[in-house]
């Protein structure tokens, strides 16, 4: 058997094995499909919100300024909360990459 034929046979065997493993994993994760669908929907909603905020920085800045002027203590609390959330988001993104 030539080296190319051996490689082709090995490749076919590995592809078959990968297909079987994917099917097995898919079958094992079927009970989680509903929860994963909810997570995916939430993730796409969050992505849409961040895109909208990025497109309208002036509107976001104006809303924050108005909120800060109306309730300075609450604005500082929200600022602290937002900063913590942003730092957590950056950490999680870096950890998951």
**Rounded Cα gap, residues 85 and 91, in angstroms:** 10
User: Mean pLDDT lowest for which of 31-40, 65-74, 87-96?
Assistant: 65-74
Extract the tokens encoding 26.
Answer: 């898919």
pLDDT of residue 15: 97
pLDDT of residue 19: 97
List alpha helices for 29-71, DSSP H. Answer: 33-55, 57-70
**Rounded Cα gap, residues 97 and 95, in angstroms:** 6
User: At CA 55, angle to CA 49 and CA 61, rounded to 5?
Assistant: 85
**Rounded Cα gap, residues 50 and 86, in angstroms:** 12
pLDDT band at 49, cuts 50/70/90?
confident
Q: pTM of the predicted model, to two decimals?
A: 0.42
DSSP 31: G
Once rounded to an integer, what is the mean pLDDT over residues 67-91? 87
pLDDT of residue 63: 82
């Amino acid at each position: 058997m030539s080296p190319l034929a051996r490689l082709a046979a090995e490749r076919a065997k590995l592809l078959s094995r990968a297909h079987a493993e994917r099917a097995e994993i898919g079958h094992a994760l079927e009970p989680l499909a509903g929860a994963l669908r909810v997570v995916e929907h939430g993730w796409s909603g969050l992505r849409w919100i961040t895109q909208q905020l990025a497109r309208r920085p002036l509107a976001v800045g104006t809303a924050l300024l108005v909120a800060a002027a109306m309730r300075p203590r609450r604005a500082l609390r929200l600022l602290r909360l937002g900063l913590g959330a942003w730092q957590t988001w950056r950490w999680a993104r870096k950890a998951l990459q």
